[in-house]
């Protein structure tokens, strides 16, 4: 399974006059095809399907659906057959 990237900490003010810090969570770096909210949405569904012994994932989406593409990739990585409608 893919693991999300850690939170990156950057100091905004290098002189530390204001002691301001920002924490950036880079979900765009999780995977080139399954990033951000798609990974978080699929993670738990794939885990549940695996724990209950399912072999195939069926999903629905519009034309040129990024969700269907992400499900296909996540399914392949996780050992599932996938069907996108």
**Residue 67: which domain range?**
7-84
What is the reported pTM? Answer: 0.73
**Average pLDDT across the chain, whole number:** 86
Q: Answer whether residue 60 is part of any domain.
A: yes
Q: Answer whether residue 2 is part of any domain.
A: no
Evaluate if residue 57 carries a pLDDT over 70: yes
Quote the pLDDT of residue 45.
93
Q: Are 65 and 84 in contact (CB under 8 A)?
A: yes
How big is the chain by its Cα radius of gyration, in Å?
Answer: 17
Q: Answer whether residue 15 is part of any domain.
A: yes
First to last CA, the chain: 24
What is the tally of structural domains in the chain? 1
Greater model confidence, 72 or 31: 72
């Amino acid at each position: 399974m893919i693991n999300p990237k850690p939170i990156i900490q950057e100091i905004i003010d290098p002189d530390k006059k204001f002691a301001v810090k920002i924490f950036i969570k880079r979900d765009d770096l999780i995977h080139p095809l399954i990033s951000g909210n798609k990974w978080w949405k699929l993670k738990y569904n794939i885990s549940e399907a695996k724990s209950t012994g399912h072999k195939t994932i069926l999903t629905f989406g519009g034309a040129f659906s990024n969700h269907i593409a992400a499900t296909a990739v996540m399914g392949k990585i996780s050992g599932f057959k996938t069907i996108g409608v």
